A and B are shown apart, each in its own frame.
Chain A
Amino acid sequence: MRIELTDEQQMIRELAREFAQKEVEPIAAQLDREGRFPHETVRRMGELGLMGIAIPEKYGGGGADTVSYVVALEEVARACASHAVIMSVNNSLVADPIHRFGSEEQKERFLVPLASGRGLGCFALTEPQAGSDATNQATLAVRDGDHYALTGRKLFVTNGREATVALVFCQTDRDKGSRGISAFLVEKGTPGFLVPKVEDKLGLRASDTAEFVFEECRVPEANRLGEEGLGFKVAMTALDGGRIGIAAQAVGIARAAYEASLAYARERKSFGVPIGQHQMVQWMLADMATQLDAARLLTWRAAALKDRGEPYGVAAAMAKLYASEMAMKVTTDAIQVHGGYGYIKEYPVERYFRDAKITQIYEGTSQIQKLVIARQLLDLG
């Protein structure tokens, strides 16, 4: 067995690394401080092909694969976790399901702008009473001729304010439960589609997380993604892929924290020697490097399975679970290595720590990942 990237995958990693180090890393701390959405760099990521990496070229994408996507995402996340989530949501949670479930007409209309970075997508599933319990959807889509009227509220929508189109999940038949959920592509500016609030967050402060309200929002039937009642499958398939992206994001954040700690351990002195010569610090660095590598390998495996067309749901859940827990631990230890300096904003590790936390929560909490894995192990369906 060989664990090796192809020439193209390596070149895509180099491209993402160079772009992230030159254009994103220098502005990351300021964007975090100001809570400002990075329009300019996101636009350039679109031009480079990073907003639709695994989407075929004929639909405006980069024509590469999921492994390329995760190696690029790790590089971007290492520089700025906010850029990484903006990129991940557009790639995994919106472009990918349109490519998989959309009609040719929908791909032309919606996928081409999203994959080429001219538009931006968001994914609206969570509701006030439906988080981990995603089947408990209260947003209604009531058929009215060749339209549906959407009414309800969606929470914690990443890219929510800046997105040009939202993938929205609604109940079209309440009696059928999860089999009564349908997915709709709703354009910004559609009458009755409101964005009343943008959240103030602990981390990922340069990404916008918004609340949506739909008030009798009329959406044409042509915007329904997949058959009526297929929405929950669309959502779960998208999240399976999304989890590989979040795993890659967690690996990128942790790598930034590890690399900062390694550099600090070489230069900072205590008791007359660089702190890297103290065994307590060595142990932390060794643990960080080992766990980081393990998380990356799990992430690459899940991506490779997806590329080969094999089942990848459990592998994606394992990668996301392990990588996000690892990122929280590594960023916590990184502050410890830095001591008091790790707690102040002059050093970047406190930002990595704040950014890491959400990876244990969104696109399925760590607890939900364990549920997904255990159900498969025990054949509980």
Chain B
Amino acid sequence: MKVLVLVKQVPDTATQVKVGSDPRAIATTGITWIVSPYDEFAVEEALRIREKRGTGEVVAVSGGPERVKEALRSCLAMGADRAVHVLDPALEGADTLTTARVLAAVIQQEAPQLVLTGRQAIDDDTGAVGAQVAELLGWPCLSWIMEEAIAEDGATVRAGRQVEGALELFDLPLPCVLTAQKGLNEPRYPTLKGIMGAKKKEIKELGPGDLGVNVDGPQLELVRLEALPPRPPGRIIPGEPKEAVRELVRVLREEAKAI
């Protein structure tokens, strides 16, 4: 079974995000880039499907500037068989529909039986691309999955997602799109062997022209990013505990209106 995993390269979770000189983007100097953690769950699940079935192929796909290859190499080091890179710097700030159209075109070329991706990327947090890709392809989609099991004949998948106090189980025909929630699995570390072997694996490079995607401009326009106002400093109420508590209650009631 061929499983395609859509991954996004995002700033490391420890990054102190600052608005850039162009207020529609963040300042990228000095940022460490990683594979979005939810996408790592998707890669891990794809590898487990291949291992469980004993055969198959795992293909990692991403779009964006040259540095996106680092993220794809991480997927190859984890164990993906090959990767596809849509080399187009314009994808960096593209709206989700544009991204979904490009990825859907890659999926049509590759014709996998299953597409996995994270429930959202941890940079823009839109959580839209998985569902949009499925819609463009006319495939079913289940988001935020916590478990999956593909039928032995490879025709359907049973996948579950957490809802308030229960697990909701669905049967979907393949091909379909599943998006991964935390808890689906524990992603493996790449091994040294995996890292050293990754450079021998193929990263196929596609240009925007290779996909025949007609892009009629973004459907969603980012106006600007604004930094959050700095948090007001904490306040220490001095005095004897008895009076201090009285003052605290007064402040919470009258000023903060919290009680």
Contacts and interface: CB of A to CB of B under 8 A. Distances in A.
Interface string A52-72: 010001000111100010000
Given A7-B70, A7-B73, A15 B195 contact: yes
Contacts of A8: 195-196, 198-199
Interface string A1-41: 00000011001100100110000000000000000000000
A62 B70 contact: no
A15 B189 contact: yes
Given A7-B199, A15-B195, A48-B191, 16 more contacts: A7-B70, A11-B73, A11-B77, A15-B192, A18-B189, A19-B189, A48-B192, A49-B192, A49-B193, A53-B192, A62-B191, A62-B192, A62-B196, A63-B192, A64-B192, A68-B192
Interface residues of A, number: 18
A15 B192 CA distance: 8
A185 to B, nearest CB: 24
B127 interface: no
A50 interface: yes
10 contacts: A7-B70, A8-B196, A11-B198, A15-B189, A18-B189, A47-B191, A48-B192, A62-B191, A64-B192, A64-B195
Interface string B200-227: 0000000000000000000000000000
Interface in B41-79: 70, 73-74, 77
B195 A11 contact: yes
Contacts of A15: 189-190, 192, 195
A47 B73 CA distance: 20
A12 B192 contact: yes
A62 B70 CA distance: 20
Contacts of B198: 8, 11
Interface residues of B, number: 13
Nearest to B74: A11
Contacts of A19: 189
B85 to A, nearest CB: 15
B196 A57 contact: yes
Contacts of B190: 11, 15
Contacts of B189: 15, 18-19, 48
A49 B191 contact: yes
Contacts of A48: 189, 191-192
A12 B191 CA distance: 9
A333 B199 CA distance: 43
The 8 closest A-B CB pairs, nearest first, are: A49-B192, A62-B192, A63-B196, A11-B195, A49-B191, A48-B191, A49-B193, A8-B195
- Residue in B73, B190, B196, B199 with the greatest tally of chain A CB atoms within 10 Å: B196
Nearest to A48: B191
Contacts of B199: 7-8
Interface string A317-351: 00000000000000000000000000000000000
Q: Is the interface of B mostly helix, strand, loop or mixed?
A: helix
A84 to B, nearest CB: 17
Interface of B: 70, 73-74, 77, 189-193, 195-196, 198-199
A374 to B, nearest CB: 37
A81 B72 CA distance: 33
B235 to A, nearest CB: 17
A26 to B, nearest CB: 16
Contacts of B192: 12, 15, 48-50, 53, 61-64, 68
A29 B77 CA distance: 31
B133 to A, nearest CB: 28
A68 B190 CA distance: 15
A68 B193 CA distance: 13
Contacts of A68: 192
A67 to B, nearest CB: 13
A12 B193 contact: no
A61 B195 CA distance: 13
B41 to A, nearest CB: 15
A19 B192 CA distance: 12
A18 B187 CA distance: 12
Interface in A246-298: none
A15 B77 CA distance: 10
A188 B170 CA distance: 55
Contact of B193 (A7, A11, A18, A57): A57
Nearest to A52: B192
A62 B198 CA distance: 13
B77 A63 contact: no
Nearest to B196: A63
A53 B191 CA distance: 11
Contacts of B70: 7
Nearest to B77: A11
B7 to A, nearest CB: 16
B177 to A, nearest CB: 29
A57 B197 CA distance: 10
Contacts of A18: 189
Contacts of B195: 8, 11-12, 15, 64
A64 B191 contact: no
A64 B73 contact: no
B193 A62 contact: yes
A7 B190 CA distance: 14
Nearest to A6: B199
A339 to B, nearest CB: 23
A333 B198 CA distance: 42
A68 B192 CA distance: 10
Nearest to A22: B189
Nearest to A53: B192
Nearest to B190: A15
B74 to A, nearest CB: 7
A64 B196 CA distance: 7
